[in-house]
Structure 1
Amino acid sequence: MQIGSYAFAVAAAYLGAAIYIGFVEHPARLKLGTSAMVREWAASDHRGAILLTTLSLVSASLAFVHCRFGGDVRWIIGGLAILTSWPYDYFVLVPVSVWLCAVPPEKDSAPARKLMRDWGLLAWGYTLIGLTACGAFAWALEQPP
């Protein structure tokens, strides 16, 4: 039971970070001028990706260990749900990120602002992934087999 609680707590931290990106960081970034916005995004995107990747890996690992010893498949469901952040990031957000990295930071451009808005909308997928994993873990914690 203890390992499952840790998996849930780490998934909740992932969810909190994703919500912070959507409600606080990205809206504040959009208030900047285009060149400052792109520079700020470039600096924070790398650190944010490392944070979310680490949290998802730790949460999934704990969930898989708990399933191994507890035998409840709901932990695998939650672990796989939070691991979907990796392909989601690679196939959905990285293409937009590549285009954003190609924008010269000193240039004020409308396409960069549109790409940044698109990136912000797509980043809400992290929140959905976190909610799904937390829901599966909460279900497994609340109704043990």
Structure 2
Amino acid sequence: MEFTAIALAVMAAFTGVALYINLVEHPARRALLGGEGLAQWQQSYPRARWLQASLALAGFFFGILALFWAGGALNLTGALFSIANWVFTYKFVMPVNRVLLDTDPDAADDATLVLLEKWNMLHGVRTGLGFAAVVSFFAALP
């Protein structure tokens, strides 16, 4: 079994989901009025969190299996980019998430919209980490 190919497929799915959020879902959220954008984010976030978290963890897991099975620094690099999503999210994205989750959509103001934009930029970093994992695993294929 080729664990590098599985890690590549998993992280390609992660990156596709993350890119969709950045390029499709968030721009659609911007068109909503007042606190409706925040309310949409609050509905979407719990579902997306588990999907993306599990994909990033699976990418790391299969990347480590590929490292032990086939070796190669690129498998290690891909695994580290995969798990970096967890580290980055915990350190930088979660504080923003907590504020957005705790904000009442009826009380949303311009600062809330700025925070949603900051969230999207931070999420873009996660998309980039996923893409870096994809490139690493692709380059590691035999």
Provide TM-score, normalisation by structure 2. 0.93
Correspondence 1:19-30 to 2 at 5 A: 19-30=19-30
Give the corresponding residue for 2:136: 136
The 3-state SS of whatever aligns with 2:106 is coil
CA shift at 1:80, angstroms?
1.0
- Residue deviations 1:12-50, cap 9 Å, x none? 001101110110000001111122111110111111111
Give the corresponding residue for 2:121: 121
List 4+ stretches of structure 1 deviating above 3 A: none
CA shift at 1:53, angstroms?
0.7
CA shift at 1:108, angstroms?
4.2
Separation in structure 1 between the aligned mates of residue 91 and residue 44 of structure 2, nearest angstrom: 20
CA shift at 1:86, angstroms?
0.5
| % identical equivalent positions | 30
Q: Which runs of 5+ in 1 are unaligned?
A: none
- In the alignment, is the contact (CA less than 8 A) between 1:34 and 1:112 conserved in 2? no
State the Cα RMSD in Å: 1.3
- In the alignment, is the contact (CA less than 8 A) between 2:38 and 2:108 conserved in 1? no
Q: Which runs of 5+ in 2 are unaligned?
A: none
Question: Are residue 34 (structure 1) and residue 17 (structure 2) matched?
Answer: no
Separation in structure 1 between the aligned mates of residue 116 and residue 69 of structure 2, nearest angstrom: 44
Question: Are residue 55 (structure 1) and residue 40 (structure 2) matched?
Answer: no
- In the alignment, is the contact (CA less than 8 A) between 1:29 and 1:40 conserved in 2? yes
Tell me: CA distance 1:39–1:61, structure 2 relative to 1, closer, same or farther (3 Å): same
CA shift at 1:73, angstroms?
2.6
- In the alignment, is the contact (CA less than 8 A) between 1:81 and 1:132 conserved in 2? yes
The 3-state SS of whatever aligns with 2:37 is helix
